[in-house]
């Protein structure tokens, strides 16, 4: 008993000495990893020792008595998280190894920063805490497109663009739609399908299509999401975190009024072109007659050709999808140019160059497709 | 003595060689009829960027949708059986998976569940929210969990067509079919989905080819719009291959695969309407007493406003003969939403209340990942007679 107490005291002293060398540690029992962690080894068979050379993947060890060969390695040592509600320890998965009277454990997955773990010697029930700290990344900045003051009542989607890759699960839980006119939040307005871009920094947030599409059961039963002439506020909460752990930090609000539903297709023949002069690097400026889909426009929806040779150019889409500026890499030469248009280019209500979002089959007697090519001339 | 030693050495060497060849993995994973599933197999890190839906092909090949890179990863799990099904319910599966990954249950996203019919083992695809780490967790017959090593795997990766890769941001299903793997992808810029065919063998480094198509839905016999498929299964009828797909607000439609042409739109034929306010989740078929049934479970997003039962998660079985019905689209049979069953051959399945994920084990049993007052339990349940 005396020997055990002495060992415990020695261990505590050793632990305190090591912890005192580790800046920023508050809890004397916490082993803390850092970018350049000290190698920690407590010569004891009671408190698990933690080698935090690799802070996210520490090696945790206990010394085991020789007469315990028949036991499983997992009978000696456990790394766990503690459930704050039930206070139970839940095992972290890892790989066990046994060499020279030592059982060691390495987690199968990197441990998360800024989170508490507990290593338990299951023979003695002694434990030591582990935590490694990392600074959170930059605060994400959010912008929403489109951001017009008026949107058609059959508007389909918003693009939420962040400056950082974001945590992605159930994004609609961060979003609400307030009907300012009635003072009530619109119940479940968003499509519950996670549509992130490949870099994880842009979410396509759809209104529920079953309510926006004419004749679909939800549209018939409970009506569309937006009522014409009502004022709305799209609200994105402040708690949404980046993958690096930083929250947006402030609520983002977008106000708009719902106009009449838009069932008309974009028509390139109605677009206004400001044609540049020859031998200049002035942009070709195209102004659409209605806002078009910002993401589709940015995906090279328009391509300029001179005598069937593609023009090397830089394209800038206006934030609200009302226009585009096409600047050539080399000065314009005189000639007749074609602009090829992706037939899938849509307006805000999903009507594309190719076809309306909703085709009324009772009236389907014509080819819906609008011009997929327009021309302009640069004079000598 | 010397002679004996030499003979013994030869025997040992022969035995070693025999054992090696018996144990050595084949270059390709083969189907039962020896059609290769995988070719140019890689060994190492699968490098999955955002894990999604999964299903099993023959011979323990797990098909995994990598949403983040718009591709399908086929993994040779080496899990060839024999069947040892889960012995008893595993409680708090989400809590256990969360802890295994070094976080808690709120810190994970469970993407899908698949059962290897050859072994009965249950595979759960999961992502750690905080840093986007991807994992596949396997539950054995004792309910013990272990991760599938995605860093040291035998795998092939097949990308969906290059032209669509930028805009495909959800893969709503991946299934092994007759001589091909089918996948359904949803766009993040247009309200549409496409069906992709990946020919066998799935060859690492190649991209999906053959065909892709948009899918359409007609409402009230009048309004035709594009419609993304939420879940699907391959299905054969009188020698023809079909896809049976489920859209949001739950029409079940079928597409004849031979009708699908590259870049040409196709209209599915709606055969059953299950009712509005539901999002389909999983789908499988089974045979019982000489009858074929389709099982699908859904998330009722209008549960609070108009509940159908005790949970927003519910499911139904549909007599497969409805898929051959003459009455289609506007005349398609509609589930009687005020009753537990009806018309004949369409029945709410009690065991599917609270089921967040469901997968077929065999023609008698299914595996359910069930919501239990906010916790998730894993269990085997009988399929209806």
Report the 3 state secondary structure along chain A. Answer: CHHHHHHHHHHHHHHHHHHHCCCCCCCCCEEEECCCCCECCCCCCCCCEEECCCCCCCEEEEECCHHHCCCCHHHCEEEEEECCCCCCEEECCEEEEEECCEEEEEECCCCCCCCCEEEEECCCCEEEEEEECCCCCCCCCEEEECCCCEECCCCCEEEEEECCCECCCCHHHHEEEEECCCCEECCCCECCCCCECCCCCEEEEEECHHHHCCCCHHHHHHCCCCCCCCEEEEEECCCCEECCCCECCCCEEEEEEECCCCCCCCCHHHCEEECCCCCCCCCEEEECCCCECHHHHHCCCEEEEECCEECCEEEEECCCCCEEEEEECCCCCCEEEEEEECCCCEECCCCECCCCCCEEHHHCCCCCCCCCEEEEEECC
In Å, how far is B65's CA from the nearest CA of chain A?
14
Residue-level pLDDT at B385: 92
Asked if the structure places residue A243 within a domain, the reply is yes
Is the domain of A47 the same as that of A120? yes
Cβ contact, residue pair A193, B135, below 8 Å: no
Q: Are B131 and A243 a contacting pair, CB within 8 Å?
A: yes
Average pLDDT over residues A153-169: 93
Question: Which one is predicted more confidently, B308 or A360?
Answer: B308
The closest of B350, B338, B331, B341 to B272, measured between CA atoms, is B331
Q: What percent of chain A has pLDDT over 70?
A: 83
Q: Which of A109, A117, A156 is facing B135, going by the closest CB pair?
A: A109
Is the domain of A282 the same as that of A204? no
Question: How many structural domains is chain A composed of?
Answer: 3
In Å, how far is A150's CA from the nearest CA of chain B?
21
Residue B274 and residue B318: Cα distance in Å, rounded? 10
Of A81, A115, A188, A214, which to mutate for an interface test with B (greatest number of B Cβ within 10 Å)? A81
Window 15-74 of A, Cβ < 8 Å to B: none
Asked if the structure places residue A98 within a domain, the reply is yes
Asked if the structure places residue A262 within a domain, the reply is no
To the nearest 10°, the Cα dihedral for B199, B196, B134, A196?
Answer: 160
Asked if the structure places residue A110 within a domain, the reply is yes
Contacting residues of B for A108, CB less than 8 Å apart: 100, 147
Residue with tokens 């690492």: B204
Asked if the structure places residue A74 within a domain, the reply is yes
Q: Is the pLDDT of residue A36 over 50?
A: no
The closest of B51, B73, B60, B139 to B368, measured between CA atoms, is B139
Cβ contact, residue pair B224, A115, below 8 Å: no
A108 contact B CB<8A = yes
Is the domain of A248 the same as that of A273? no
A350 contact B CB<8A = yes
Q: Label residue A223 exposed, middle or buried (CB < 10 Å: 0-12, 13-18, 19+).
A: exposed
Residue-level pLDDT at B209: 60
Any idea which of A315-329, B8-22, B34-48, B171-185 has the lowest mean pLDDT? B8-22
Cβ contact, residue pair A296, B189, below 8 Å: yes
Q: Is the pLDDT of residue B13 over 50?
A: no
Cβ contact, residue pair B225, A91, below 8 Å: no
- Domain extent, residue A362, equals 268-378
A365 contact B CB<8A = no
The full length of chain B comes to: 385
Is the domain of A74 the same as that of A146? no
Question: Which one is predicted more confidently, B269 or A216?
Answer: B269
In Å, how far is A3's CA from the nearest CA of chain B?
36
Residue-level pLDDT at B190: 65
**Spatial CB neighbours of A247, under 8 Å, sequence gap ≥ 6:** A139, A140, A238, A239, A240, A241
Of A56, A85, A95, A109, which to mutate for an interface test with B (greatest number of B Cβ within 10 Å)? A109
Is the domain of A47 the same as that of A20? yes
A357 contact B CB<8A = yes
- How much of chain A is in helix, strand and coil states, percent to nearest 5? 15, 35, 50
Residue B214 and residue B120: Cα distance in Å, rounded? 35
Contacting residues of B for A359, CB less than 8 Å apart: 223-225
Is the domain of A87 the same as that of A47? yes
Q: Which of A112, A193, A221 is facing B186, going by the closest CB pair?
A: A193
Q: Which of A92, A109, A293 is facing B133, going by the closest CB pair?
A: A109
What is the CATH number for A76? 2.60.40
Q: Which of A91, A108, A215 is facing B219, going by the closest CB pair?
A: A215
Average pLDDT over residues A222-245: 92
Average pLDDT over residues B152-179: 84
Is the domain of A127 the same as that of A15? yes
Cβ contact, residue pair A358, B224, below 8 Å: yes
In Å, how far is B83's CA from the nearest CA of chain A?
25
Q: Are B68 and B129 a contacting pair, CB within 8 Å?
A: no
Contacting residues of A for B140, CB less than 8 Å apart: none
- β-partners of residue A214 are none
- How much of chain B is in helix, strand and coil states, percent to nearest 5? 15, 45, 40
Cβ contact, residue pair A193, B228, below 8 Å: yes
Average pLDDT over residues A277-290: 96
A111: confidence class by pLDDT, cuts 50, 70, 90: very high
Residue A47 and residue A7: Cα distance in Å, rounded? 10
B228: confidence class by pLDDT, cuts 50, 70, 90: confident
Paired tokens of B66: 């990598």
Is the domain of A310 the same as that of A244? no
A187 contact B CB<8A = yes
Residue B367 and residue A300: Cα distance in Å, rounded? 46
Residue-level pLDDT at A6: 37
Cβ contact, residue pair A109, B167, below 8 Å: no
In Å, how far is A217's CA from the nearest CA of chain B?
6
Residue-level pLDDT at B216: 61
Asked if the structure places residue A261 within a domain, the reply is no
Is the domain of A218 the same as that of A296? no
Q: Which of A90, A93, A209 is facing B191, going by the closest CB pair?
A: A209
Residue-level pLDDT at B248: 67
Residue in B with minimal Cα distance to A90: B99
Cβ contact, residue pair B189, A350, below 8 Å: no
Torsion sign (Cα): B169, B194, B179, B245: positive
Is the domain of A58 the same as that of A80? yes
**Spatial CB neighbours of B364, under 8 Å, sequence gap ≥ 6:** B288, B382, B383
Q: What is the ipTM of this complex?
A: 0.85
Torsion sign (Cα): B207, B213, B214, B215: negative
Is the domain of A237 the same as that of A315? no
**Spatial CB neighbours of B10, under 8 Å, sequence gap ≥ 6:** none
Q: Which of B146, B172, B223 is facing A213, going by the closest CB pair?
A: B223
Asked if the structure places residue A137 within a domain, the reply is no
Contacting residues of B for A212, CB less than 8 Å apart: none
Last residue in a domain, options A111, A132, A153: A132
Residue-level pLDDT at B224: 62
Residue B183 and residue B176: Cα distance in Å, rounded? 9
In Å, how far is A93's CA from the nearest CA of chain B?
4
Number of Cβ pairs closer than 8 Å across A and B? 169
Cβ contact, residue pair A112, B102, below 8 Å: yes
Cβ contact, residue pair B275, A217, below 8 Å: yes
Q: Which of A93, A188, A358 is facing B301, going by the closest CB pair?
A: A188
Cβ contact, residue pair A360, B223, below 8 Å: yes
Q: State pLDDT tens for residues B186-202.
A: 776 666 677 888 889 99
Last residue in a domain, options A83, A109, A132: A132
Average pLDDT over residues A38-46: 47
Burial A259-284 (b: 16+ CB within 10 A, else e): bebbeebbebeebeeeebeeeeebbb
Q: Is the pLDDT of residue A67 over 50?
A: yes
Any idea which of A325-334, B42-51, B162-171 has the lowest mean pLDDT? B162-171
Residue in B with minimal Cα distance to A344: B190
Paired tokens of B252: 């079940």
Contacting residues of B for A198, CB less than 8 Å apart: 49, 68-70, 165-166, 169
Last residue in a domain, options A77, A101, A132: A132
In Å, how far is A192's CA from the nearest CA of chain B?
9
Asked if the structure places residue A263 within a domain, the reply is no
Is the domain of A163 the same as that of A189? yes
Residue A232 and residue A185: Cα distance in Å, rounded? 9
**Spatial CB neighbours of A364, under 8 Å, sequence gap ≥ 6:** none
The full length of chain A comes to: 380
Q: Are B361 and B380 a contacting pair, CB within 8 Å?
A: yes
Q: Is the pLDDT of residue A205 over 90?
A: yes
What is the CATH number for A174? 2.60.40.1220
């Amino acid at each position: 008993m005396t020997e055990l107490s002495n060992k415990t005291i020695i261990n505590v002293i050793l632990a305190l000495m090591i912890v005192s060398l580790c800046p920023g540690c508050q809890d004397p029992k916490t082993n803390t990893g850092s970018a350049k962690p000290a190698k920690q080894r407590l010569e004891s068979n009671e408190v698990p020792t933690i080698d935090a050379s690799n802070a996210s993947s520490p090696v945790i060890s206990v010394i085991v008595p020789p007469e315990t060969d028949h036991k499983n390695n997992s009978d000696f040592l456990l790394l766990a998280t503690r459930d704050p509600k039930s206070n139970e320890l839940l095992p972290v998965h890892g790989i066990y190894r046994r060499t020279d009277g030592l059982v060691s454990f390495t987690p199968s997955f990197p441990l998360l920063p800024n989170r508490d773990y507990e290593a338990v010697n299951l023979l003695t029930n002694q434990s030591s805490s582990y935590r490694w700290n990392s600074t959170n990344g930059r605060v994400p900045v959010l912008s929403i497109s489109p951001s017009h003051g008026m949107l058609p009542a059959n508007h389909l989607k918003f693009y939420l663009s962040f400056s950082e890759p974001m945590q992605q699960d159930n994004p609609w839980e961060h979003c609400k739609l307030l009907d300012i006119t009635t003072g009530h939040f619109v119940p479940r307005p968003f499509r519950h399908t996670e549509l992130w871009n490949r870099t994880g920094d842009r979410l396509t947030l759809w209104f529920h299509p079953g309510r926006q599409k004419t004749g679909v059961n939800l549209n018939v039963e409970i009506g569309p999401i937006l009522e014409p002439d009502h004022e709305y506020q799209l609200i994105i909460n402040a708690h949404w975190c980046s993958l690096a752990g930083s929250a947006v930090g402030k609520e983002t609000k977008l106000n708009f009024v719902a106009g009449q539903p838009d069932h008309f297709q974009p028509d390139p023949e109605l677009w206004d072109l400001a044609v540049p002069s020859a031998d200049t690097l002035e942009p070709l400026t195209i102004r659409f007659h209605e806002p078009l889909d910002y993401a589709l426009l940015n995906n090279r929806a328009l391509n300029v050709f001179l005598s069937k040779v593609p023009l090397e150019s830089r394209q800038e889409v206006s934030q609200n999808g009302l226009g585009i500026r096409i600047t050539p890499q080399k000065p314009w030469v005189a000639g007749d140019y074609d602009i090829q248009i992706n037939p899938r280019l849509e307006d805000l209500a999903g009507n594309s160059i190719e076809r309306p979002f909703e085709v009324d089959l009772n009236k389907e007697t014509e080819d819906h497709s609008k011009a997929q090519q327009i021309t302009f001339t640069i004079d000598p | 003595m010397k002679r004996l030693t030499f003979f013994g050495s030869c025997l040992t060497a022969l035995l070693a060689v025999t054992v090696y060849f018996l144990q050595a993995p084949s270059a390709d994973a083969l189907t039962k009829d020896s059609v290769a599933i995988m070719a140019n197999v890689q060994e190492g890190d699968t490098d999955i960027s955002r894990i999604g839906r999964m299903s099993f092909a023959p011979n323990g090949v797990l098909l995994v949708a990598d949403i983040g890179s718009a591709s399908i990863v086929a993994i040779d799990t080496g899990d060839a059986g024999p069947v040892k099904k889960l012995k008893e319910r595993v409680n708090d599966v989400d809590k256990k998976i969360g802890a295994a990954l070094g976080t808690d249950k709120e810190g994970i996203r469970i993407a899908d569940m698949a059962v290897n019919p050859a072994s009965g083992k249950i595979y759960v695809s999961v992502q750690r929210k905080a840093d986007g780490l991807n994992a596949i967790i396997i539950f054995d017959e004792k309910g013990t969990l272990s991760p599938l090593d995605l860093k040291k795997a035998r795998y092939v990766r097949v990308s969906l067509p290059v032209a669509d890769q930028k805009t495909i941001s959800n893969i709503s299903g991946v299934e092994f079919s007759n001589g091909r793997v089918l996948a359904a992808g949803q766009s993040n810029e247009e309200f549409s989905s496409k069906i992709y065919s990946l020919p066998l063998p799935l060859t690492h480094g190649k991209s999906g080819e053959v065909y892709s198509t948009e899918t359409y839905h007609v409402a009230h016999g009048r309004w035709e719009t594009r419609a993304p498929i939420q879940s699907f299964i391959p299905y054969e009828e009188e020698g023809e291959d079909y896809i049976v797909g489920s859209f949001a607000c739950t029409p079940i439609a079928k597409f004849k695969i031979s009708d699908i042409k590259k870049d040409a739109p196709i209209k599915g034929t709606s055969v059953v309407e299950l009712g509005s306010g539901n999002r389909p989740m999983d789908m499988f078929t089974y045979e019982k007493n000489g009858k074929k049934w389709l099982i699908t479970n859904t998330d009722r997003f209008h549960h609070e406003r108009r509940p159908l039962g005790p949970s927003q998660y519910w499911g139904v079985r549909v007599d497969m003969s409805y898929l051959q019905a003459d009455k289609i689209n506007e005349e398609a049979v509609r589930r009687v939403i005020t009753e537990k069953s009806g018309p004949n051959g369409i029945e709410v399945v009690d065991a599917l209340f609270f089921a967040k994920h469901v997968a077929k084990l065999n023609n008698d049993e299914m595996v359910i990942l069930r919501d239990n007052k906010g916790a998730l339990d894993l269990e085997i349940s009988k399929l209806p007679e």
